[in-house]
């Protein structure tokens, strides 16, 4: 009786394990790449206009820009201290490129890093060779990283892109209001050629 009961329990356990494995097989891991990711946006305008608007957007929000090592790439950071023992750093890296069709694309990635003031024990060593003793020597407060992650909230990037769009619109209006060379032939053709009344 006991042997049959044990055999039945083993069969039930085996069936449960098979069902669990088959269930896991039907749930693939989440996709790591998606066209719906919030890290890029296409704007109407040349690369000069759009890339300059990206730089203005970063500077207007208090980001300190590093010297770019590559054309079209900007890296900026901003510090915040929400509490006496917590320091938060937000870093942005943007890449801007002209699509050569009247539009430009902007890529941006933001990372948030939290550093907290922590107590670290200090030790001192006394002696020579095998006779060395390690003894506590008090403690010190140091700033240590407790969290670091890429910001994935679409609202964060939408706010940034909205600001870039605003500066891009301003730049296009400003360029359109300047006296350009396009209307110069019309002005010249409406004027009488110099010395036209001479024989």
The rounded distance, in Å, linking the Cα atoms of 150 and 109 is 7
Any domain includes 117: yes
CA-based torsion, 68, 69, 75, 80: positive or negative:
negative
The rounded distance, in Å, linking the Cα atoms of 112 and 90 is 5
- The number of domains in the chain is 1
Any domain includes 189: no
Any domain includes 116: yes
What's residue 131's pLDDT?
61
CATH number at residue 100: 3.30.310
What's residue 130's pLDDT?
64
Arithmetic mean of pLDDT, 103-124: 88
| pLDDT tens, residue by residue, 21-58 | 555 556 678 888 888 889 999 999 999 999 999 999 99
| pLDDT tens, residue by residue, 116-170 | 988 777 666 666 666 666 666 566 777 788 899 999 999 999 999 999 999 999 9
Enclosing domain of residue 59: 35-124+136-173
Burial (0-12, 13-18, 19+ Cβ within 10 Å), 163: middle
Is 90 exceeded by the pLDDT of residue 4? no
Average pLDDT, the chain: 79
pTM: 0.66
Is 50 exceeded by the pLDDT of residue 189? no
Any domain includes 179: no
Is 70 exceeded by the pLDDT of residue 20? no
Any domain includes 79: yes
Higher pLDDT, 68 or 173: 173
129: left (phi over 0), alpha (psi -120 to 50) or beta: left
Any domain includes 19: no
What's residue 19's pLDDT?
55
Any domain includes 165: yes
What's residue 152's pLDDT?
95
Residues of the chain with pLDDT > 90, as a percent, come to 48
Is 90 exceeded by the pLDDT of residue 182? no
Reported confidence tier of residue 185, pLDDT bands at 50, 70, 90: very low
Reported confidence tier of residue 179, pLDDT bands at 50, 70, 90: low
C-alpha distances (whole Å) from 45 to each of 22, 41, 74, 134, 180 are: 52, 12, 19, 66, 17
Any domain includes 13: no
């Amino acid at each position: 009786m006991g042997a049959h009961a044990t055999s039945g329990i083993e069969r039930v356990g085996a069936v449960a394990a098979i069902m669990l494995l088959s269930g896991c097989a039907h749930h693939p891991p989440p996709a790591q790449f998606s066209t719906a990711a919030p890290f890029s946006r296409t704007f109407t305008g040349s690369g000069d206009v759009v890339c300059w608007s990206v730089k203005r957007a970063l500077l207007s929000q208090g980001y300190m820009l590093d010297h770019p090592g590559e054309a079209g790439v900007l890296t900026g950071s901003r510090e915040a201290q929400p509490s006496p023992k917590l320091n938060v750093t937000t870093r942005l890296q943007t890449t801007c490129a002209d699509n050569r069709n009247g539009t430009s694309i902007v890529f941006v990635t933001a990372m948030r890093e939290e550093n907290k003031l922590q107590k670290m024990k200090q030790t001192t060593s006394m002696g020579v060779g095998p006779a060395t003793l390690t003894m506590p020597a008090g403690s010190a407060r140091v700033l240590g990283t407790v969290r670091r992650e890429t910001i994935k909230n679409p609202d964060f990037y939408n706010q940034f892109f909205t600001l870039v769009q605003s500066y891009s619109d301003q730049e296009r209006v400003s360029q359109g209001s300047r006296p350009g060379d396009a209307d110069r032939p019309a002005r010249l053709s409406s004027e009488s050629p110099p010395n036209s009344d001479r024989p």
